[in-house]
Amino acid sequence: MEIFKRYISRRAVGKRIVKVDYYDDAMLLTSKKHISQTLLDATFSNIHRHGKYVFLECGKGYLMFHFGMTGEPGYFHIEKDPPDYSRFVITFEDNHALACISRRKLGKIDIVKDITTFIKDHEIGEDAMSIDRESFRDVMSRKRGSIKNALMNQKTIAGLGNIYTDEILFQEKIHPKTPVSSLQDKSLGSLYTTMKNVCHTAIRGQAKLENMPEPTLLTRRSPGERCPVCDSPIQKITVNNRGTYFCPECQKNDE
DNA sequence: ATTCTTGTTGAATG
DNA sequence: GCATTCAACAAGAA
């Protein structure tokens, strides 16, 4: 999401909006009228991100994007067709446009008045990139269930998805089903450092999996892959209804 | 052809 | 209140 935010920031902030087009309503959480009224003739003055949510500031409020599982922003010249699966397109006065692309339409588009209120109303946790060590330990120590659930739950910490959670647990050598309650304070501190490292490393590599330095699990999420550390076959299980990959040798249940 | 899986979330359920 | 399950959605793979 941080990469998306930077992508949008470079192309949309400072530009005046001259047209708004809707190709599909499924992702809209408010009326087209409300969105158009807020955006038309406005200029994006700033951009913010909290977890997987991006907010474009425009005077009267914020345009909120959530890209869901298969969503991404797309910027193009208006002489060309919008990218495939564009659901929502904002045209700027410089003859370029920003599309919200979403194959599965699992994303969301909304207008919000205030980011802080939005985060509070949706009970979204602190952002994974900005939470401090103490708060991390504090919020994690309150959770029950598996460590993977706790890390992925946006109400605990905002921003971690399925594959990066697996990567963090792989780097930290923790079995994804380990109960959070069984992790000592020290382990949580170490997990915190690993979480930050994985996020920073991913961003440095433009969130492209092929840019992740070895050893990594991110590029081995398919049957038959082997652990880059110990060469054991990578295992796939289900945790929280999500396909979960881990190395059964490196990530033993007990630390 | 049907079922499963997927870089997600939130409403329903236990 | 908290943890777990499932629908919404679309398309490619098994």
What integer best gives the mean pLDDT of chain A? 95
Q: What is the mean pLDDT of residues A2-23?
A: 97
Q: Does residue A104 approach strand C to less than 7 Å at its CB? A: yes
Residue nearest to nucleotide C10 (CA to C1'): A104
**DSSP class of residue A81?**
P
Q: Is the pLDDT of residue A247 over 60?
A: yes
Radius of gyration of chain A (CA): 20
Q: What are the tokens at A105?
A: 């339409």
Distance CA A126, CA A138 (A): 12
Share of chain A above pLDDT 90, in %: 96
Average pLDDT over residues A198-222: 95
Q: Which nucleotides of B are covered by protein (CB under 7 A)?
A: 5-10
Look up residue A113 and give its two tokens.
């008045």
Q: Where are the alpha helices (DSSP H) in A13-146?
A: 32-39, 115-121, 133-141
pLDDT at A129 > cutoff 90 = yes
A186 CA, C13 C1': Å apart: 43
> CA-based diameter of chain A, in Å?
58
* Residue A242 pLDDT greater than 80, yes or no: yes
**Which residues fall inside 7 Å of strand B, measured at CB?**
A 1, 51-52, 66, 68-69, 104, 106, 122, 152, 154, 161-163, 207, 209, 221, 241-243
pLDDT exceeds 60 at position A217? yes
Residue A208 approaches strand C within 7 Å at CB: no
d(CA A144, C1' B4) / Å: 29
Burial A18-30 (b: 16+ CB within 10 A, else e): bebeeeeeebbee
pLDDT band for position A181 (50/70/90)? very high
pLDDT at A15 over 90: yes
Between CA A69 and C1' B3 the distance (Å) reads 21
According to the model, what pLDDT value does residue A60 have? 83
Angular region, A171: left φ>0, alpha ψ -120 to 50, beta rest: alpha
Statement: residue A116 has pLDDT above 60: yes
Give the SS3 label for residue A32: helix
Confidence of residue A62 (pLDDT cuts 50, 70, 90): very high
Whole-structure pTM value: 0.96
Does position A213 have pLDDT exceeding 70, yes or no?
Answer: yes
What lies within 8 Å, CB to CB, of A154 at 6+ separation is: A51, A52, A124, A125
Query: Is A255 a residue whose pLDDT tops 50?
Result: no
Q: Are strands A86-92 and A96-102 parallel, antiparallel or unpaired?
A: antiparallel
- List the helix and strand counts (H, then E) for chain A: 7, 12
Residue nearest to nucleotide C8 (CA to C1'): A106
Which tokens in the block code for residue A28? 């809209």
Check whether A238 has a pLDDT greater than 60: yes
**Mean pLDDT, rounded, for A8-22:** 97
Q: CA dist A55 to A38, A74, A94, A109, A166, Å?
A: 13, 16, 22, 10, 27
**Lookup result for tokens 């991913």:** A202
Separation of A107 CA and C14 C1' (Å): 27
Q: Residue A37, SS3?
A: helix
- Mean pLDDT across A40-65: 96
Mean pLDDT computed over A221-230: 94
Nucleotide nearest to A238 (CA to C1'): B5
At A254 the pLDDT is: 54
Question: What are the tens digits of pLDDT across the range A84-108?
Answer: 999 999 999 999 999 999 999 999 9
Specify burial of residue A31 (Cβ count, 10 A radius: 0-12, 13-18, 19+): exposed
d(C-alpha A5, C-alpha A126), whole Å: 17
Confidence of residue A4 (pLDDT cuts 50, 70, 90): very high
